[in-house]
A and B are shown apart, each in its own frame.
Chain A
Amino acid sequence: MTVTAHAPSAATTPQRADGVSRRKAQRAAKRRRNGAAGVLMAPFFVLLTLVFLIPVGTAAWLSFFSDDQPGLGFGAERTVFVGLRSYAAVLTDPTFLSGLGTVALYCLIYIPLMVIGSLALALLLDSGVVRLRSWAQLGLFLPHAVPGIIAALIWLYLYTPGISPVIEALGKADVTVDFLGLHTTLPSIVNIALWSNLGYNMVVFYAALQAVPREVLEAAVVDGAGPVRTALQVKAPLVRSSIVMVAMFTLIWALQLFTEPMLLHQSSQMINTRFSPSMYIYDAAFSRNNYSLAAAASVILLIITIAVSYGVTRWTNRVDSSEENAR
């Protein structure tokens, strides 16, 4: 923590007496404020150091070192600097790359569905024609109060033949679906995430839409814009910052994909222990006891997350500024 507190030197050039005392008072006030800021911020930054900076540093350190044994590995261990060896191992591991591919595909399906879906619902609710609007919001929001693991449990059962009324109903219509089959696992996971978060993001968008000034909308009506055009061409652009924020947080969460596949893995052989990068890290660390590999994979996931977030921010900023210029 660097809350700057200039150590005030007692020996100041004597000036006019009241000036000195005023400056002294100012300094004392500043010191007090810095002290207060320090006290208020210290607990958080202690935590930040303890559970963020040190672990990130440890992960980076671990990824460059390894407890090696020569030859077959049955001798004594010694910790050696291995450079990029662990990174090379991760990046040549087809199971890690396929996990990355899985998450990339997951993001490509999930994020557009989520953003468009929740924005559309918010626009519909905001259009003023929906009956029992607050009840609708309550219903849509409810899954957010369901913990992720339990959402996954509920849907797992809804995907399980013999328990699921969905499969039973489809069966009666002569449709057999294996929700946990070779090509259906990813859509099934997307569905769980969508179900959990749709309502939450809808509320975020709805709140942003409520803040759109009424005059803007009235102006649109005067221009002869219908409700659909108003929604798409007037309202949606005005909540763009919310869209970016929702997309960003959805992306960060999506890259961490862990809970849902971890649970479904208990019931489907089509979801393996290295299904996503996060599962790969867990597997490398705790089932393969390969810390440097896990650490390298962690750092790679971290870099990807930061790079993608940074890229998205840059891209939206550029789009923003180019539109500013166009105006």
Chain B
Amino acid sequence: MPGRPSRQSRRSVLAAITALPLTGALGACSDNGSASSQSNSSTSGTRGTTTITFWSALRGSQEVVDAFNKTHDHIQVAFEQIPSGTQGGYLKLSNAARAGNAPDVATIEYPQLPGFAIDGVARDITSMLGDGLRAKLLPQSLGQTTFENRTYSVPLDIEPMVMHYRKDLFGHFGFDVPTTWDEYAELARKVRRTGGGRRLATFPTDGMSQMASWCWQAGAQWFDTSKGAWNVSMADAPTRKVAAYWQRLIDEDLVYCNSQTARVYDAQIGNGLILTRLSGAWDAGAQMNARPEQKGKWRIAPLPQWTADRPSLGTHGGSTFAVTKDSTHPEAAMEFIEWQVSHPDALKARLSSGASSQYPAATELVEVGRAAFDRAYYGSQDIYRLFEEEAHKIRDGWVWGPRMTATGYVMQDAFARAGAGSGTLLDAMHAAQDGTMPDLKALGLSTTQHST
């Protein structure tokens, strides 16, 4: 059932919020779309029209679909806005696949893709993926959707983690933008001392995706498939370093420690109680949409590094499009996907919704995004230029697990307990691994548990 509770990521909550007011306005758009598509198909004469179905929870999808339908007569897309993944969207997709009526095209985020590929919901599209499209996509993104040399979905956006910070407050207190994690911790102490009751950041107790991004950056490899089995090591040396780092910030009371879906987090941002948000590039658009009154106060900087001369980065968020096993028109589905991820009109249509700052996986679209994005909120900072620089730092070779949502829940439960003073973040990582192994074994997967 769609209302399944979950500690959804910040992103999905925002997606849910923004999806609601959009639907009303979109009704009008879709009417236009269908009207024009009818006229198109009637003029196109003998050629038959293929209709494919498309599910997504992403902001601006309706605009993209309308733009597609306007310019294509042989393929028409029937779009359904579904709840975001952990809000019930993934359950809906699984249930539909089980009943044999999954849509032609489904939206799947990177962490969940291995699961849907293993379950056979996402189709192996290796042979349908042309070299042209392949060449357009940032290799790190395509690497995330390819397993054992088989590709299961096409990346839409790839979201390097960046540091959103309160420029006004940094200026007011005379803080410098930190570039290394040591500087970041030092700044956290300064903020605690002189920041008038503020904190530098919030450690997200529901933040599997943030934790993953930090560990990814530090060189961790929670899941590794290079030796033909799922090797799970969620407490490897880089992870231990990251966990210890944040544990110290929590222990010294330098950061807030709470869920980012909780109302208290909204208050922390809204009332200027935290100075930085560490999240993906997409969060720039979400922030713009959620808190228009903070216009001009935020800027974006690269995420701090462990070693300044060897920069590395993980992603936070990002979606891909899969052709499902139930699709009766896989070629048409692929054509729509290709257009959606690589055509300038698609990105323009999405950004026109005013709530998106997605960083496209197709590199040549970056300039389109730069030109189309309204920079006013960020004091005319060229954030797409920054995203572009950061995207190239994304470390290759990260692999998400076969049941990442479940793994994340176990981790986050333990984060919450750690936040309440019971156990540590490192304990949470051990708990996540211990809670994941039985799942993988019961699925019949080959598993190992080596660690560094």
Contacts and interface: CB of A to CB of B under 8 A. Distances in A.
B76 to A, nearest CB: 31
Nearest to B5: A266
Interface string B90-127: 01001000000000000000000001011110001000
Nearest to A178: B420
A66 B442 contact: yes
B421 interface: yes
Contacts of A296: 442
Residue of A85, A93, A286, A292 with most partner-chain B CB within 10 A: A93
A320 interface: no
A244 to B, nearest CB: 37
Interface stretch (B222-230, B269-277, B291-299): B222-230
Contact of A293 (B117, B412, B438, B445): B438
Interface string A73-104: 11001001010011011101111100000000
A262 B229 CA distance: 35
Interface string B137-164: 0000000000110101000000000000
Nearest to A266: B5
A176 interface: no
A96 B439 CA distance: 11
Contacts of B326: none
A72 B148 contact: yes
B402 interface: yes
A69 B445 CA distance: 7
A110 to B, nearest CB: 23
Contact of B444 (A80, A90, A96, A272): A80
Given A287-B405, A290-B439, A269 B205 contact: yes
Interface in A139-198: 181-182
Contacts of B410: 95, 272, 274
Interface in B416-452: 416-417, 420-422, 431, 434-435, 437-439, 441-446
Contacts of B152: 74
Nearest to A267: B5
Given A95-B410, A269-B206, A289-B115, A77 B439 contact: no
Contacts of B403: 288, 290
A220 interface: no
Contacts of B406: 273, 283, 287-288
B444 A72 contact: no
Nearest to A75: B148
Contact of A74 (B118, B205, B422): B118
Interface string A111-143: 000000000000000000000000000000000
A272 B409 contact: yes
Contacts of B340: none
A71 interface: yes
Contacts of B420: 181-182, 270
Contacts of A19: none
Nearest to B420: A182
B320 to A, nearest CB: 16
Contact of A89 (B4, B148, B441): B441
B225 A89 contact: no
Residue of B413, B420, B421 with most partner-chain A CB within 10 A: B413
Nearest to A82: B444
Contacts of B117: 74
A271 to B, nearest CB: 9
Contact of B91 (A182, A273, A287): A287
Q: Give the contact-size bracket for chain B.
A: 35 or more
Contact of B412 (A93, A95, A269): A269
A67 B98 CA distance: 13
A218 interface: no
B219 to A, nearest CB: 22
Given A89-B441, A289-B94, A74 B148 contact: yes
B199 interface: no
Contact of A69 (B6, B124, B444): B444
Given A287-B4, A287-B405, A73 B445 contact: yes
A73 B91 contact: no
Nearest to B152: A74
Interface residues of A, number: 42
B62 interface: no
Contact of A90 (B147, B150, B434, B438): B438
B444 A182 contact: no
A268 B446 CA distance: 35
B421 A182 contact: yes
Contacts of A290: 403, 439, 442-443
A226 interface: no
A265 interface: yes
A139 to B, nearest CB: 33
A176 to B, nearest CB: 14
A70 interface: yes
A86 B115 CA distance: 19
Contacts of A266: 5
Contacts of A265: 5
B119 A289 contact: yes
B7 A89 contact: no
B413 A269 contact: yes
Nearest to A94: B434
A88 B438 CA distance: 8
Given A72-B446, A293-B442, A269 B259 contact: yes
Interface string B396-413: 000000110110011011
Contacts of B443: 66, 68, 73, 290, 293
B169 to A, nearest CB: 27
A71 B439 contact: no
B93 to A, nearest CB: 11
Contacts of A86: 442
B446 A71 contact: yes
Contact of A72 (B91, B124, B225): B225
A292 B442 contact: yes
A284 B436 CA distance: 11
Interface of A: 66-74, 77, 80, 82, 85-86, 88-90, 92-96, 181-182, 262, 265-266, 269-270, 272-274, 283-284, 286-290, 292-293, 296
8 contacts: A71-B228, A73-B230, A85-B444, A262-B5, A272-B410, A286-B91, A288-B403, A290-B403
Which 7 pairs, one residue from A and one from B, show the smallest C-beta to C-beta distance? A68-B444, A269-B416, A93-B438, A272-B413, A89-B442, A89-B438, A293-B442
Interface of B: 4-7, 91, 94, 115, 117-120, 124, 147-148, 150, 152, 205-206, 225, 228-230, 259, 402-403, 405-406, 409-410, 412-413, 416-417, 420-422, 431, 434-435, 437-439, 441-446
Given A72-B147, A72-B225, 17 more contacts: A66-B444, A68-B444, A70-B444, A71-B445, A72-B230, A72-B445, A72-B446, A74-B117, A74-B150, A89-B439, A93-B438, A93-B439, A181-B420, A269-B205, A270-B417, A286-B94, A290-B443
